[in-house]
Structure 1
C-alpha cells in the first residue's frame, strides 16, 4: 500500500473533517497528515485500528511463545492433553 496518495495537509483536515472521516471509513486506508510539509500524524478508521491492535496482540502472544520455547519452557503435548482431560473429568 502506498501512503503517498493519502497525504493531506492539516489545513485540509480542518476544512474537510467530515469528508475525511467518511473517506477513511469507506476506503479503510490510513491518511498521513502533514504540518509545514512534514508528516505529523496518521489517521485511520476505528475498525482498521481495532484490527491492527488485535493483530499486534496475536503477534505478541506468538513472540512470547517463541521466547518460552527458546528458554526450554515446553511440555510434551501428550502430557498437557492428559492434564486437561483429568481436570475436565474432575468437574
Structure 2
C-alpha cells in the first residue's frame, strides 16, 4: 500500500469531511493528514481499526507465549488436554 497517494492536508479534511469518511469506509485504506506540511495523524475506518486491534492482540498473545517458552514455562500437551477435558465434563 502506498501512503503517498493517501495524504491530504487538514484543510482538505475540514472542507470534505463527509466525503473523506465515505472514502475511508469504501476503500478501507488509511488517510494521512498533514498540518504545515508534516504528517500529524492517520484516519482509518472503524472496521479496519478493529481488525488492526484484533491482530495486535493476537500478536501480543504470541509474544507472551514465546516469552514463556523461552523462560521454560512449558507443560506437556497431554496434561493440558487432560485438564481441559475435565473442565468440559464439569461444565
TM-score by length of structure 2 reads: 0.94
Query: Equivalents in 2 of 1:45, 1:19: separation in Å?
Result: 13
Cα deviations by residue, 1:38-82 (Å, 9 ceiling, x for unpaired)? 100000000000000000000000000000010011101011112
4+ residue runs over 6 A deviation: none
CA RMSD of aligned residues (A): 1.1
Partner of 2:77: 77
1:44 aligns with 2:49: no
1:63 aligns with 2:66: no
Partner of 1:86: 86
Query: Equivalents in 2 of 1:13, 1:84: separation in Å?
Result: 52
Partner of 1:20: 20
TM-score by length of structure 1 reads: 0.94
Q: Which runs of 5+ in 1 are unaligned?
A: none
Q: Which runs of 5+ in 2 are unaligned?
A: none
Tell me the secondary structure at the aligned position of residue 72 of structure 2: coil
Q: How far is 1:21 from its partner?
A: 0.2
